Amino acid sequence: MLTERVSPGSGAVKKAYEAGEEETLRNYLPLVNSIVNHLRVALPSHVEADDLVSAGLVGLVQSYRRYDAAQGCTFGTFAAGRIRGAILDELRRSDWLGRSCRSKARLISDAIANFEQANGRPATEEDIAEELGLSAEGYATLLDEVKPICYVNLDSVSNAGEVDLMHDLIADELAVTADLATQKRELMVLVTERIQKMPETTRKVLSMYYFEEMRLAEIAKVFKVSESRICQINAHAILCLRRFLQTMAGA
């Protein structure tokens, strides 16, 4: 059982540690695959699943070596965050988002900022389509093109105002200070309040995907629409939340 941190030594202790690590890799490989499948649906076709699994396994190994039950979370919860973070790190390292995708996402983000500043409420898809001078179909196509940038965690805001993973902001994931914990709670309150102001369908899609961890296909069946449509709803919502958090951070 992974109930305490273990330092590998020599002889029998080292063998036991290595055996435990190998067993953990086998037992939690489905978790790695699940996270990869959850992320990959929105990624460009050239991104290889095997590369993401390899990155996820690195995160799993790091989890095993750094887990401390005294921190108050289960190993599965701890590992899931590390695995997802390792995969996103690999995607960032590989520059998986092209310049065109980033440029288009920035265009939408600026339109969202302009609309919300002028109207004082969250922007709907219809609002931003009008702001950009696009038809509903044209904006839907644009959302399809930028959707890879939207599949991120909403755990924190960096100094530059970017929504990013908490592990990017914490030198040692096992040394979460009281200040950081407070900041994270305050951030989640802001995100929750903002989501509550969004349309009901958007709120449900975000809840199903990020909190209930339902697959896009499952969510699409609930709403009787295509997976692409669910991706568009998610993409618009996340771009709105990103811009909102950037504004809160003074970006």
Tell me which of 123 and 22 has the higher pLDDT.
123
Q: Do domains 11-93 and 99-248 have the same CATH topology?
A: no
Average predicted confidence (pLDDT) for the chain: 77
- Condensed to tens digits (0 to 9), the pLDDT of residues 45-90 reads 667 788 889 989 989 988 888 888 887 788 888 888 889 888 888 8
CATH T-level fold of 99-248: Butyryl-CoA Dehydrogenase, subunit A; domain 3 (1.20.140)
| φ, ψ of residue 80 in degrees (nearest 5) | -60, -45
Q: Give whole-number Cα distances, 108 to 115, 128, 171, in Å.
A: 11, 7, 32
Looking at the structure, give the CATH architecture of the domain made up of residues 11-93: Orthogonal Bundle (1.10)
Please give the pLDDT value at position 187: 73
**Distance, CA of 109 to CA of 148 (rounded, Å):** 15
Please give the pLDDT value at position 250: 63
Give the mean model confidence (pLDDT) for residues 12-37.
Answer: 74
- Condensed to tens digits (0 to 9), the pLDDT of residues 95-130 reads 666 677 788 888 999 999 999 999 999 999 999 999
What is the domain partition of the chain in residue ranges?
Answer: 11-93, 99-248
pTM equals 0.65
Q: Residue 179 corresponds to which amino acid? A: D
